[in-house]
């Protein structure tokens, strides 16, 4: 079996060195913490942005989780500040955006990493659970964009990265109908914004992770299997490359799409999935 998750620390050999591709960029990342030990997508991407020279604004509902990510960046010599915010609450999001604008005068990159799953179809889910999944996965991106886009439009420049999922475009084998709907919404929300703001110098792209080996799956997915080891092996086996992806795979794609290297790329929903979406369902 592939190696299990390892706790995240500033000495990890997984942490990229960086090439300065985000130098002098102000990056606002929602969902910067991790739900457990190891490298979740948000934590890994936060560190990767900072290693590339960005000033990272790490935001999470759990302030301790955001602080943990910030401590790793600090230990690496990076520039970072951490905040708590509820991405389903407009005023909470606005307060963070206003603070960042007051301190830095701009936001160059908005990265939306927040997400959650609840198992069940229309019969099994309560209406409250349905709305929770849509609010956390989809409405959150609407709210962050609502408050960040005016500043980007005024400057005539900016990049937005939305973390979607391959669940947006195909059945993954899990009975989470609200998650399918929310992530499909993120994809088309991304495309619509990309075209609406293309002439204003704002690029908007989405990343669709495939089967990832992050702490989240051990909290929200493992109940669909006999035990965590069976889950991990099944997910490794289902991927054409023979392994799940990691938070660093998402981080690498994020840095590229947010950087000036991707300045002619917008409206893309990029699978980062080891070839999974090339397979027949």
| C-alpha–C-alpha distance, residues 126 and 177, integer Å | 12
Query: Active-site positions?
Result: 179
DSSP string spanning 124-139?
Answer: TS-HHHHHHHHIIIII
| C-alpha–C-alpha distance, residues 21 and 16, integer Å | 12
Half-sphere exposure at residue 245, Cβ-oriented, CA atoms within 13 angstroms: 25
Under 8 Å between Cβ of 138 and 189: yes
| C-alpha–C-alpha distance, residues 30 and 139, integer Å | 13
Q: Which residues contact 72 (CB under 8 A, 6 or more apart)?
A: 8, 9, 10, 43, 47
């Amino acid at each position: 079996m592939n190696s299990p998750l390892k706790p995240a620390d500033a000495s990890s050999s997984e942490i990229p060195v960086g090439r300065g591709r985000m130098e002098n960029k102000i990056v606002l990342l929602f969902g910067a913490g991790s739900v457990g030990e190891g490298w979740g997508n948000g934590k890994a991407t936060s560190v990767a942005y900072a290693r590339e020279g960005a000033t990272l604004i790490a935001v999470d509902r759990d302030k301790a989780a955001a602080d943990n990510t910030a401590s790793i960046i600090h230990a690496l010599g990076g520039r970072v500040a951490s905040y708590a915010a509820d991405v389903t609450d407009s005023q909470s999001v606005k307060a963070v955006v206003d603070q960042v604008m007051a301190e830095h005068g701009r936001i160059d990159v908005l990265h939306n990493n927040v997400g959650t799953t609840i198992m069940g179809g229309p019969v099994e889910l309560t209406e409250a659970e349905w709305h929770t999944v849509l609010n956390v996965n989809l409405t959150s991106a609407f709210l962050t964009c609502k408050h960040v886009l005016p500043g980007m439009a005024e400057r005539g420049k900016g990049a937005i990265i939305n973390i979607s999922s391959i669940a947006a475009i195909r059945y993954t084998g899990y009975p989470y109908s609200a998650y399918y709907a929310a992530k499909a919404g993120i994809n088309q929300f991304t495309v619509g914004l990309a075209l609406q703001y293309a002439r204003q110098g704002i690029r908007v792209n989405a990343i669709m992770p495939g089967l990832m080996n992050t702490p989240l799956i051990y909290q929200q997915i493992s109940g669909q299997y006999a035990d965590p080891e069976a889950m991990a092996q099944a997910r490794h086996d289902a991927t054409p490359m023979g392994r799940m992806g990691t938070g660093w795979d998402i981080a690498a794609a994020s840095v590229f799409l947010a950087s000036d290297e991707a300045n002619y790329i917008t409206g893309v929903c990029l699978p980062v999935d080891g070839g999974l979406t090339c397979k027949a369902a």
